[in-house]
Homo-oligomer: A and B are copies of this chain.
Amino acid sequence: MSRAADLRSVRAYRILPQDDPLLTPHIGALIEMLHYTRLTTMHEVAGLTVEQLDTIPAGFGNSVGMLLAHIAAVHRIYHGLSFEGRDVFDDESYAPYRLALDLNEAAREHIRGRELSEYLTELEAASALTMDGLAARDDVWLASDLGAGSGQEMNQHWAWFHVIEDEVNHQGQIRVIRKIVAPRVKAGEQT
C-alpha cells in the first residue's frame, strides 16, 4: 500500500483497491476514492488566510472555512449513522457537528476566525476515523442497509459514496469562491 501524499504524485491518479490485500474490494476502492478526494480538497485550499477562509462572496451562502467544517462534520455524522446505527439528528452527542452540517445563519456567525490548520486538523481526525471504521468492515456489510436506529433508508455503500460526493460537490463551490477571494494567475485555468 503506497498512497499518494499529494496531487504531484502519479500514484494519486490510480485507484488501486487491490494494493491493500487486507481490505475487501469495494471497501478498498472507497478508501482509495476518499483518499484522492481529500488530496484534491487540500490542494484547493492550500495557503488560504483567515480572511480568505472567512469571506462569503455575494451570491454565496458559505465561506470556504464553513465548507471545510461542513466536510468534516459530514464524516462525523456518517460515523454515527453508518458505523453506530444511531439517529444522529436526535442524539445529543452529535449536536456539536450539526452547526457545520446545517450551514445556516448560526454557522455563518460561529464558523469564522479560524486558521486553515484548525480546519485541516479536524478534517484529518474525522477522516482517520472513517478510514479505520471502513477498514474494520467488509463488502458484505457494505451492501447492507443502514441500521434501523439511523432512521435512514440507504445502504452502506451509498452512504460512503455520498460522503465522497458531498465533499466533491462542496469542492466545486470552494474552487469558485477561491477564484474570487484568492485569484491565482494561471494560463488556461478552468472553472
Interface residues of chain A, those whose CB is within 8 Å of chain B, are 10, 13-18, 25-26, 29, 32-33, 36-37, 40, 57-62, 102-104, 143, 145, 152-155, 157-158, 161-162, 165, 168-173, 175-176, 179-180, 188, 190-191
Contact = CB atoms under 8 A, between A and B. Distances in A.
Contacts of A14: 145, 154-155, 157-158
A73 to B, nearest CB: 12
Contacts of A179: 59, 61
Nearest to A10: B153
Q: How many copies does the complex hold?
A: 2
B172 A170 contact: yes
Contacts of A17: 26, 157
Contact of A169 (B102, B104, B145, B169): B169
